[in-house]
Amino acid sequence: MSYVDEVFEALKKKHAGEDEFLEAAERVIETIKPAVEANEEAYRKAALLERLVEPERIITFRVPWTDDSGKNHVNLGYRVQFNSAIGPYKGGLRFHPSVNQSILKFLGFEQIFKNSLTGLPIGGGKGGSDFDPKGKSDAEVMRFCQSFMTELFKYIGADEDVPAGDIGVGGREVGYMYGQYKRITGLYEGVLTGKGLSFGGSLARPEATGYGLVYITDEMVRNAGKSLKDATVVISGSGNVAQYATQKAEQLGAKVVTLSDSNGYIYDPDGIKLDVVFEIKNVKRGRIKEYVEKVPTAKYFEGERPWGVKCDIALPCATQNEINGEDAKKLIENGCWAVAEGANMPSDADAIDAYLKAKILYMPGKAANAGGVATSALEMSQNSERLSWTFEEVDGKLKDIMVGIYHKVAEAAKKYSYETDFVTGANIAGFEKVADAMMAQGMV
């Protein structure tokens, strides 16, 4: 049995029941096999893979809080500090009822490789709680965040572990947690990212994931001798990532013809008018179908996803598993020649197989949406320097990082003769840097 298979078999026995984590671990370690086999003896001796698949530590704690009616509740809080070989742990906090240890281990494991790809000194981590912020008052969310941080503060710090937002944790929650951290420790330091601009947040952070997605897409298509200019682009979602991906794609001369939400999608053959979307989604907090009231030449398709629309490029920016094998086939049959993922894991395994088989350009989310965490790391740099960079400075660095990620991924794929298989390229490129650092730091 190969070293990779041996480690995975042992992992399955040790963590039976952690389905999400085991699936993520299998997908990654299968694809890094060529890089492991090239150094198998040294890695085996150093128990490198056995260490890579186990978090350095997992902190679990109770989070007691009181609702507005005086009723007491207890949620579970977690921080998975997965790997600090190349920098302090970095990764979001998720507040959602589905949160459990397996999901956070899966997300933390993925984060190690995504963060490594950015080229910045950040390790991998993830955390959160099974608390559901939906339907809670501001005061309840604040009390919960304060209670959560009253425990978490012991384990994080600007040079130790720097959490950020994720599902259910936006600017409001980061603000409340930052306030409590400062109150308890007396430290004004960059311990969280995604902060408000008035207390250490970074310009261009809201734009970063969507812009970064389009920067890497642009580099990928240019290297294939194609162009974003005049390309027809289909985008799903209409939240933060989708909006800024639309903006940057339009700036680079592409025509974005769809956006969606969980109820349906809009099709505008003349190109999405983003000012209308900003008004509906960010000011009125409405639904995407309202777009057709303002732009009567557009159409709304209730209960459908946009993957049947003819396009050159697809940028899924909504949620996990939103493109299945059938959707991918439709895209390919309609002439789509590139897919890049703004969302985390939007394509299921069948869809990825279909892209690779058809040899269309495909950049997985781990590389394509790394602009968000990269800009969070730029926020950490600004906090350490006690400086605020201009929008243009941050955006320029973001662009360089995304172009750099494309080349790292493409070169790693090529080095192991996987040519345009950027899934393998992204995993290997992310792995090699972490592996080098772990080997150099000895048996820790």
**Would you say 66 or 344 has its CB closer to ligand NDP?**
344
Please identify the residue of the shown chain whose CB is closest to the bound ligand NDP. 239
Q: Catalytic one among 105, 126, 248, 397?
A: 126
Check residue 372 for interaction with ligand NDP (CB under 6 A): yes
Q: Is 319 in the site for ligand NDP (CB under 6 A)?
A: yes
Shortest distance, position 418 Cβ to ligand NDP, whole Å: 24
Q: Which residues between 180 and 219 bind ligand NDP (CB under 6 A)? A: 209
Least separation, in Å, of the C-beta of 134 and ligand NDP? 11
- Smallest gap from Cβ 369 to ligand NDP, in A, equals 4
Q: Between residues 25 and 370, which has the closer beta carbon with respect to ligand NDP?
A: 370
Between residues 29 and 317, which has the closer beta carbon with respect to ligand NDP? Answer: 317
Contact yes or no for 344/369 (Cβ under 8 A): yes
Shortest Å, Cβ 68 to ligand NDP: 25
Q: Does residue 261 interact with ligand NDP by CB under 6 A?
A: yes
Contact in structure between 239 and 372 (CB atoms under 8 Å): no
Compute how many residues bind ligand NDP; rule: CB under 6 A: 20
* Shortest Å, Cβ 180 to ligand NDP: 23
* Per-residue three-class SS string for the chain: CCHHHHHHHHHHHHCCCCHHHHHHHHHHHHHCHHHHHCCHHHHHHCCHHHHHCCCCEEEEEEEEEECCCCCEEEEEEEEEEEECCCCCEEEEEEECCCCCHHHHHHHHHHHHHHHHHCCCCCEEEEEEECCCCCCCCHHHHHHHHHHHHHHHHHHCECCCEEEECECCECHHHHHHHHHHHHHHHCCCCCCCCCCCHHHCCCCCHHHHHHHHHHHHHHHHHHHCCCCCCCCEEEECCCCHHHHHHHHHHHHCCCEEEEEEECCEEEECCCCCCHHHHHHHHHHCCCCHHHHHHHCCCCEEEECCCHHHCCCCEEECCCCCCCECHHHHHHHHHCCCCEEECCCCCCECHHHHHHHHHHCCEEECHHHHCCHHHHHHHHHHHHHHHCCCCCHHHHHHHHHHHHHHHHHHHHHHHHHCCCCCCHHHHHHHHHHHHHHHHHHHCCCC
* 51-59, 245-253, 337-345, 423-431 -> range binding ligand NDP (CB under 6 A): 337-345
Residue 324 makes contact with ligand NDP by CB under 6 A: no
The correct pick among 175, 237, 306, 364 for binding ligand NDP (CB under 6 A) is: 237
Identify which range of 250-258, 338-346, 349-357, 393-401 contacts ligand NDP by CB under 6 A. 338-346
Contact call for residue 384 and ligand NDP (CB under 6 A): no
Span interacting with ligand NDP, options 14-22, 52-60, 231-239, 351-359, rule CB under 6 A: 231-239
| Beta carbon nearer to ligand NDP, 7 or 122 | 122
Among 52, 174, 318, 352, binds ligand NDP (CB under 6 A): 318
Query: Is 126 among the catalytic positions?
Result: yes
Assess 282 for contact with ligand NDP (CB under 6 A): no
241 near ligand NDP, rule: CB under 6 A: yes
Residue ranges binding ligand NDP (CB under 6 A): 209, 237-242, 260-263, 317-319, 322, 342-344, 369, 372
Catalytic positions, written as ranges: 126
